[in-house]
Amino acid sequence: MSSDQINQIITQMGTAIGADSGLGGTLKFDFGEPGSVLIDGKSVPNKVTDGAGQNADCTISVSLETFEKMVKGELDGTSAFMQGKLRVAGDMGLAMKLGPILQKARG
């Protein structure tokens, strides 16, 4: 079960990316204890759902605090990765598409 904060992220991301995220794959944000968010860029239209128990082509492990800074544009994804604040497992190409998705989330 997701926290209210995770449900809010799911709603905001779903609205922001619309029918086509441009991913062409599945990307999961794993926030640890609070929960996770899955962006399904393979489905038409794309879907953003609770990622609990779901596998993805790429999983990004990050704290909610770091994620919020990235969405606000206060922290670049590459910088977060280099600082060890973000870990990537799976398809690194999908992780590289994260920037435009966060820009969409910013509005």
* Tokens encoding 40: 């399904």
Where does the pLDDT of residue 105 fall: very low under 50, low under 70, confident under 90, or very high at 90 and above? confident
Q: Domains of the chain by range and CATH?
A: 4-106 (3.30.1050.10)
CA distances to 50, 83, 103 from 14, in Å: 11, 28, 13
Is residue 55 predicted with pLDDT exceeding 60?
A: yes
Question: What's the CA gap between 83 and 41, in Å, rounded?
Answer: 27
Kindly tell me the burial class for residue 104, based on how many C-beta atoms sit within 10 Å of its own C-beta (0-12, 13-18, 19 or more).
middle
**pLDDT digits over 32-43, tens only?**
999 999 999 999
pLDDT at residue 102, as a whole number:
79
> Which is nearest to 92 in space by CA: 51, 52, 53, 57?
57
Question: What's the CA gap between 36 and 55, in Å, rounded?
Answer: 11
Where does the pLDDT of residue 77 fall: very low under 50, low under 70, confident under 90, or very high at 90 and above? confident
CB atoms within 10 A of CB 83: 11
